[in-house]
Amino acid sequence: MQPFVTVKGPAAPLMQANVDTDVIIRIERLTAGADLGHYALEALRYLPDGRPNPDCVLNEPRFVGAPILLAGRNFGCGSSREGAVTALMGMGLRCVIAPSFGDIFYSNCFQNGMLPVVLPERDVERLATLACKGDVTVDLGAGVVVTPDGDEISFVIDRLRREALLDGLDDIGLTLKWADDIAIWQRADRAMRPWVWKTQGEDRI
């Protein structure tokens, strides 16, 4: 998984509440081998005939390929769909900033190298107002979002999740950091309780 340390760039203001995972990526796109980045948020980005929607902020030249998304409340709500995170990353996004997230979407972000940042709604709205004035910086190490005018807004991420993103580790990678300790415990437990470690077919009577 690609580590996340800092990201700097345009922050696209999609200030719409309750954008669910079916809007982020339709279920049939996940089963058709489609380019998920192309189809991410397609109901908003494209007209019925497939042409780019000129009224969608994500199609404005400054925000095409933006690494940061500013979103409304409850972003990523709805069904469990890990492909929603994959689709957004296929657009070039590495960070979503919102007042709140759907719980499963929030967890899936960390499993795929995306940083979800929860900020008070007034701060997200302020960032949206400043979006056209310059780039936004998200510094996970320092735990701050730097606005285009240089102000810093602090955010908090669970310590273990923060370390995992900084190191580019998913849950399996985090577990493997303890591989030596796990092996020591296994050897000790095997000596203490050998019957637990017997494989099928051993010691048959």
CATH architecture group of domain 6-168: Alpha-Beta Barrel (3.20)
Task: Inform me whether the pLDDT recorded for 174 exceeds 80.
Answer: no
Task: Indicate the average pLDDT of the chain.
Answer: 90
Q: What letter does residue 8 receive in the DSSP assignment?
A: E
Confidence of residue 205 (pLDDT cuts 50, 70, 90): very low
Q: Are 15 and 70 in contact (CB under 8 A)?
A: yes
pTM above 0.95, yes or no: no
Confidence of residue 32 (pLDDT cuts 50, 70, 90): low
Domain boundaries, the chain: 6-168
**What does the pLDDT read at residue 84?**
95
pLDDT tens readout for residues 134-149 = 999 999 999 999 999 9
Q: How many of the other CB atoms lie within 10 Å of CB of 8?
A: 13
Q: Are 110 and 165 in contact (CB under 8 A)?
A: yes
**What does the pLDDT read at residue 33?**
67
